Structure 1
C-alpha cells in the first residue's frame, strides 16, 4: 500500500480569499442545503478531503475531533451518488450504495442527521440502524430501499442475517472513528462486513487518532490511499483552553457544582469514567438545583436519545456522560466540557475535549485531578505533547462534604457517648448481676444430722417402731366408702 500524503495544514489556502463550498463543483441541490444551514467556507479537513473523495480515491483522514470530518466525507459521497438518485417507489431502484460504519449509536444518529440534511434536496434516501431499539421499523425502511446506510457493526450484521439488507452493490465504505471500533472489540465484525462487500469499491477512514492497529487494518483493505492530516496526530484543538484543578476525591462533586455555578455554565458535558459515577453525579447536581441528566450504557436507547434531545433543546443544562458521548456529538456553541474523571485511555481525552471549540469557536476543557490520577495525567500529556495548565480553584469550599463530615462526626460522637454510657451501664449491670448471682446462687450449706454419722446397729427399737405401722393398718372392709366424681359424671364406690 503506497500512500499519497497531503501535508498537515491548519488554515485555508489563502487567508485573504478563503475557499468556498461552491468552488468544489458540488451540485446546486447540495449547495442549497449548505446555504440553508449557514455554511459557506469549509474547514481545513473539508477543504482537503472533498476534492480527493470526489476523485474516487481511498482516503485516510486524520483530523482532530470537531473539525468537520463528517461533512468532509458525506458531501462528496452525496455528490458522487447523485447519478443514481431517482423517485421510483421500487426498492430495487434504491440499493445500498454507500455504507458508513460508526462505533456508537449516538455517533451513528449524529452522522445520519448530517447526511439527511445535506441530501434533503437530492432525492437520495438514507437510513440509520443501531442496536438497543426495535429492529422492526429499521427492517421496514431498509426493505423499502435506501442508497446510504449509517450503521453500528453489530446491528448491521443482524440485518444481514435477517436478509433485510443487501450489500452486493455497495460502492463506498466509510469507517468513522475506526480506532474506537477496534477498542470496542468490533474487529471480527468489521472483517465480516468487509467480506460481504464488492472487491472493487472506494474506502475512506476518518478519525482523530490512528493507532498502529488501525494502520494495520487500513493496509488490509485500502488501495493506494491518500493520507490527509490537517493537524498533528492526537493533537487537541488550539481553540480549546485546557486547565486542571487538583481536589480531593471526596470533594469532586462539590467542585463540579462550584465551577458550574461560578461560571454560569449551561449546555456542558461532564465526563465520568463509570456509569454509577455518572448517575450519582447527576443526582447530586439536581439536588444542587442544576438541571442535569445522565447518559451511559445502562440507559435504554430511548432514554439516551431523550436525554440528548432535551440537552440540545436546553431543557437539560448539564449532561453527565460516560465515554459513550465522547465521540460524534455535535452541540453547537458548547462552551465547556468538564472531566470529572480523567479518562483511562489518553486518546479519549482528545475526543472528550473535542466536544467544545468546534468549527472555529472557542471553548474550555476543565479537568479535575486527584493524587491517584498521576499516571493518567502523564499519559495524556505524553500523547498530546503538551502540559496542561495547573490552577487553584479559588474560593472553593466543599460545603456538602464538610457538612457530611460534621454530621458524621457529631453522629459518631453521640454514638461514642451513647456507646460509652452503654458500656458503663453494661459493665455495671454485669457487676450487679454477678454480685446478685453470687448472693442468690451460692451453694447451700449442707446441714449434717449427727444420727446419719453413726454406724448401723440393729436394735429392738426398730422393731418396736415398726409395730405401730402394722397395728395402724386400715381395714378396708370397715372404712366408709366415699364417692369421687370423674369424667362422664360416674360415681365410684356407689352402692348398688
Structure 2
C-alpha cells in the first residue's frame, strides 16, 4: 500500500517525500483512514512503529481541508491573524514533544498549517509569542501547558482533535492529574486519539471515559520484542559494570551506543568514567537544561558523541536510525521498560544489539523480563568479571534443602558430627519451678529459708560443675564429700584429746 492509496492530499505527500517516507507502516495503514473518518482511536504500539505520522498526517489533512472549506469567508479572514488551537498533542517529555513538532513541521511544510511546541526548560516568553501569532496544532508537555492555562495565556476551548501520546508514561511520571485538568478545559465533543504501549488499570479507566466507540489498532504486542534485535546479558560481580562497559566499548565497530541508567546521578557518573578512558559521552536527564539536552541529542545524532547515557524518562523522543547498540547499565524493575529501551535499536528494518548488565540483586528483574518477553536472554560467560557468589550460594542452599528433605525422620541422628549442619544459637532452656529463685538469692546470706536456698543453690552449682566435667553423679559426690569431712573431723578431735591429756600430765 502507498500513501496515495490512503487518500493523502498532494501537499502532505510532498512533505512525506521530503521526509523520505516511501510507504506507510502497518500502524499508519490502519490508523490514517480511521482518523480521516473522524473516529476515535486507541493505538497500542511501541516506539519505532511510525505512530507519530499515524496521527499527525491525518490531523494535518483534516485541519487543512477545514481551512479550505472556510476560505473566502470574511469571518475566517479575520480569524486567520489570530488562529485558534484546533488540535492539541500531549507528550510526556520535552524531547518527544520537540521530536513530534519537528516531524509535523516537515509533513505540513507545503500546507498552511502552523504548529508550535510548548515545553518546559526554555523561555516561556518565546512560546507566548508563538501562541499570539496563532497555531493550529500545539504539541505540549502537561506541566508547561498547565502553567500557561493557569496564567490564561492559552485557550483550549476550540480544540477539535486531542492526542494523548504515550499515556502510560504520563501516568508513570505523575502527569495524569494535570492531563485530566487540561481535558476539562476542552469541549466535550471532540475527536480523541489515544496511544499507549501498556494498558494499566488507570489507563483503561481513562480510555473508557474519553473514547467513544474507538477503532482499536494494535501493532506488535507490548510483551514481545523485535526479533531482529540480538539480546544478551552479562552476569557481573558487584561493582564491575563500569569496567565491563569500558571493555565492551573498546570495540570500535560499535559506532553508537545508548546506555540506560536508573538514576540521574548514575548517568553523570557513567559519563565521567567513560571520559577517563577517552570515550566521547554525554548524559541526558531531567536535571539538564533543555538546551543541554538538545545539544547532547544533536551531537549523538550527528556522530560527534559516540555514547549517550540516559535515564528512561529523558530517553523518550530519542529516535536515531543508525543506533546500533542499546546497553542496559541497570536493569529496569518494570519489564515493559526493557521492551521500550531495546526498541531504540533495530529500527527501520535494520538489525541491532541489546546488551544488559545484571548484578546479584538484579536477578529478580531479569527473571521478570524473561517472563514478559517469553524467552530466555542468552548469557555471555566469556568475560573477566563473572558473577560467582550467587550461583555457588544458590547451589549450596539447594543441596542443603535437598539433603534435609531426603534424610528425614531419625536418620539425622545417625549422621556424624562433622556432617551435621551447625546449630544456631538458641535461648537457654527454662529452669524448673524449684530453681526459679536460685540465681536471685545466690548472693544473699543469713539463716532461715533464705540461707537454706543459698546452700541448696551452692550445692546445685557444685553438682552441675561436677557433672559438666564428667564426674560422678550428684548423689555420689555428696556422699564422698561427706565422708571426707567426717574423717577430717575425727582426726582433729583425736589430736585435741591427746594434747589435753598431755597438759594434764604435766
Equivalent in the alignment of 2:182: 193
User: Which whole-Å CA distance do the structure 1 matches of 2:67 and 2:228 have between them?
Assistant: 39
Q: 2:17 matched to which residue of 1?
A: 35
8 Å CA contact 1:91–1:143 kept in 2: the answer is: no
Q: TM-score, normalised by structure 2?
A: 0.72
Any conservation in 2 of the 1:85–1:122 contact (CA below 8 Å)? no
CA distance, structure 2, for counterparts of residue 125 and residue 365 of structure 1:
39
Within the candidate set 237, 241, 244, 1:248 is matched to 237
Query: Map of 1:137-148 to 2, 5 A cutoff?
Result: 137-148=126-137
Looking at structure 2, the residues matched to 312 and 236 of structure 1 have their Cα atoms a distance apart, in angstroms, of 24
Match of 2:345 in 1: 356
SS at 2:356 equivalent: strand
Q: 1:85 to 1:290 in 2, by over 3 A?
A: farther
Using the alignment, how far apart are the partners of 1:194 and 1:119 within structure 2? Answer: 26
**Is 1:47–2:22 an aligned residue pair?**
no
* Aligned partners of 1:96 and 1:148 also within 8 Å: yes
CA deviation string 1:324-343 (max 9, x = no partner)? 23322111221111000001
Is 1:134 matched with 2:123?
Answer: yes
**Equivalent residue runs for 1:73-112 within 5 Å:** 73-85=55-67, 93-112=82-101
**8 Å CA contact retained: 1:269, 1:336:** yes
TM-score, normalised with respect to structure 1: 0.74
1:85 CA displacement: 4.2
Aligned to 2:105: 116
Structure 1 residues 207, 134: closer, same or farther in 2, change over 3 A? Answer: same
- Structure 2 counterparts to residues 160-309 of structure 1, below 5 A: 160-262=149-251, 264-309=253-298
Q: Which runs of 5+ in 2 are unaligned?
A: 69-75, 388-506
Question: Are the counterparts in 2 of residues 90 and 144 from structure 1 also a CA contact under 8 Å?
Answer: no
Kept in 1: contact 2:122–2:291 (CA 8 A): yes
In the alignment, which residue of structure 1 is the partner of 2:40? Answer: 58
Query: For 2:77 and 2:272, how far apart are their aligned partners in 1?
Result: 51
User: Given that residues 234 and 358 in structure 2 are in contact (C-alpha distance below 8 angstroms), is that contact kept between their aligned partners in structure 1?
Assistant: yes
What is the distance in 1 between the residues matched to 2:78 and 2:93?
Answer: 31
> Matches of 1:296 and 1:314 in 2, distance apart?
19
Contact 1:275–1:297 (CA under 8 A) maintained in structure 2: yes
Alignment of 1:367-382 (within 5 A): 367-382=356-371
From 31, 55, 71, the equivalent of 2:53 is 71
Does the CA contact (< 8 Å) of 2:323 and 2:346 recur in 1? Answer: yes
| RMSD (Å), alpha carbons | 1.9
Between the aligned partners of 1:89 and 1:321, the Cα distance in structure 2 is 47
Q: How does 1:376-455 map to 2 (within 5 A)?
A: 376-394=365-383
Q: Secondary structure at the match of 1:204?
A: strand
Count of residues in correspondence between the two structures? 380
Of structures 1 and 2, the one scoring higher in RCO (CA 8 A, sep 6+) is 1
Divergent runs of 4+, >6 A: 86-89, 395-398
Instruction: Confirm or deny: 8 A CA contact 1:243 1:365 kept in the other structure.
Output: yes
Name the SS of the counterpart of 1:297 in structure 2.
coil
